[in-house]
Structure 1
Amino acid sequence: MNLQYEDAGGDGIPVLALHGTFGRGRTFAAVAERLSPDYRLIAPDLRGHGRSPHGLGDYGRNAFIKDVAELIEALHVAPLPVIGHSLGGVTAFQLAARRPELVAAVVVEDVGAVTDESELPEPVLDVTGWPTRFSGRREAEEFFGQTPAPSYFLESVVAEDAGWELLFDLDEMMAVQWGNVGVWWDDWTAVRQPMLLLRATDSFLLSERLASEMVRRRPGTELVTFDGTGHWIHRKDPDRYAATIRAFFEQLTTSRPPGG
């Protein structure tokens, strides 16, 4: 499938960045700027999001992994580091586990190896009643101003011929969320590439207890905690986020995978 993607360009080392549910590749724009010119960030709109194909029906884990693998192969950039936020974080470590030849290293931003009711009281955000069209930008800003990350959601509100509209379908977003609900320990522990886990102290998806368990079960995982950022670390603190990732990448030449 042909995913639309943002490409920072240049001669830097390619890095793939995968957004979370409701997002778009452009959510990583500030990070791409801070990593340039040493790194060339490539950030796709995942299926059902942004300008990538919609109405596909399948929003399970295998479909997302397959899409990303095909993009990497089409761009001839394997193996490369993969960054993933939330939904994209699960996709990132599952891709590394199932298609290891494509991935050089993994950065997982604020999501756990367990995303079901045993870990999260409400693993899915019910968006079925959300508006999909707005009379103007201001109306959209007022609605999404009630969410934890207004600017993140507003990136998917665009001016079309019929007015201001969402770039995602609400039913598809429910399917995307449910497709990401599960217990993914087998994938997490199967990753052999260097891995960095980023956690926000104010996270509603990744508890301190679960993050510690992820490090215990997968020795060699580096854990970095961000104070006061909330779930969208890359948007709230792009300076430290980029600096942390850059430091991790610079260690890759001397890193050794667990058991390697």
Structure 2
Amino acid sequence: MTIVEASAVAPLARHLAGPLDDDAAPVLVLSHGITDSAACWIEAVDRWSAFGYRIVALDARGHGDSPRWDQPDLANQRTTGERLAADLVDVLEDLRAHGLRGEGPLRAPLAVVGHSMGGVTSLDVAAHRPDLVDAAVAEDPAFVTPIWRRLLAINAYRQVREMRQIAADPQARFELEMRNNPTWSPRETRASVEAACGVDLGFIAQGCVSPPTPWEEVIDSLAVPTLIVTGTERVVLRGDNLTNITRRANPTIETAVIEGAPHCVRRTFPNRFHAITDPWLARRLEANTRRQLHPTSHQAA
């Protein structure tokens, strides 16, 4: 993974929630999928905040309140994907050094949680910078092959056109999404439509959904506890895509499949998603909290 110089670009927008005055509370760094924004996590943010997590929900570059893309980073899919990873590294390095609000180095455990583009970016960074991450959760991460990357680039104009159509009549898109996805939260659906209206079309035109690291390298390199959650309907990790991951038998990776769930697993079946992820996060982050509070006794044990 090539790390782009942090000083060359403006940082991502961060949206904070949870018990921010509790320095011991674990931290979840949320990264959304392409054309979404931090606001699209609102239901999960409310839930995890109530459970005592501090939340840092990010707007990816070109999305939400974050800066638009600089042209040098849009030179090709590789430079664009490298910036996705570098942006997350910059955020995590700053959080570790300065805390959520400049209160000093972060001592509490931290997990990255991402969906689709945000999921694969979170895994890429966790694999390459395990010093920054204690655990990782990815919801149907957008792992793609070289052939798939080329197809995404060729067909990117279709998504650009779709974004323009949404921006022309966002209410019609909202109503369509609610008809097609009756279990989706209206708050998150509206946030998703609003995010699509303002997304950086220069980025969308690249057809880039992930850092350039081959998926095999990411899966083999992951050394922090990792949970990958996917579904069975129109998902990225369908069929052999998921089997190829599990066959590599990385002992740090656990997978869970929610039958009938599409690419937006959490939005479609929130209770089933949280029934898997919430206990998993609690176990992993509470274990890290105990190790940090009692390092000597842990080493002796």
Q: How big is the shift at 1:177?
A: 2.3
Pair 135,90 (structure 1): closer, same or farther in 2 beyond 3 Å = closer
Unaligned runs of 5+ in 1: 160-164, 255-260
The reply on whether 1:240 has 2:272 as its aligned counterpart is: yes
**What is the aligned residue count?**
249
Pair 153,228 (structure 1): closer, same or farther in 2 beyond 3 Å = same
Aligned residue number for residue 20 of structure 1: 33
**Aligned structure 1 segments of 4 or more residues deviating by more than 4 angstroms:** 118-125, 132-137, 142-154, 156-159, 178-182
Query: Deviations 1:98-144 (Å, cap 9, x if unpaired)?
Result: 11110111111112543443699768552232326756653443676
Stretch moving more, 213-222 or 121-130: 121-130
Percent identical residues: 25
Query: Deviations 1:55-95 (Å, cap 9, x if unpaired)?
Result: 32325222111111211222334751111111111101110
The reply on whether 1:104 has 2:124 as its aligned counterpart is: no
Aligned residue number for residue 41 of structure 1: 55
Aligned residue number for residue 116 of structure 2: 86
Do 1:18 and 1:89's aligned partners in 2 also have CA atoms closer than 8 Å?
Answer: yes
Superposed CA RMSD: 3.2
Stretch moving more, 229-238 or 1-10: 1-10
Alignment of 1:1-260 (within 5 A): 1-10=10-19, 11=22, 12-35=25-48, 36-57=50-71, 58=73, 60-75=80-95, 76=99, 77=106, 80-111=110-141, 113-117=143-147, 126-130=158-162, 131=164, 134=167, 137-141=170-174, 154-158=190-194, 166-175=197-206, 177=208, 183-220=214-251, 221-252=253-284, 253=287
Q: Structure 1 or 2: larger strand share?
A: 1
Name the SS of the counterpart of 2:223 in structure 1.
coil
Pair 128,205 (structure 1): closer, same or farther in 2 beyond 3 Å = same
Pair 236,65 (structure 1): closer, same or farther in 2 beyond 3 Å = same
Do 2:40 and 2:192's aligned partners in 1 also have CA atoms closer than 8 Å?
Answer: no
Do 2:120 and 2:210's aligned partners in 1 also have CA atoms closer than 8 Å?
Answer: no
Do 1:113 and 1:188's aligned partners in 2 also have CA atoms closer than 8 Å?
Answer: no
Q: Structure 1 or 2: larger helix share?
A: 2
Name the SS of the counterpart of 1:217 in structure 2.
coil
Whichever residue aligns with residue 232 of structure 1, its letter is C
**TM-score (normalised: structure 1):** 0.81
Unaligned runs of 5+ in 2: 1-9, 75-79, 100-105, 289-301
1 CA distance for matches of 2:210 and 2:42? 27
Pair 80,176 (structure 1): closer, same or farther in 2 beyond 3 Å = farther
Stretch moving more, 193-202 or 53-62: 53-62
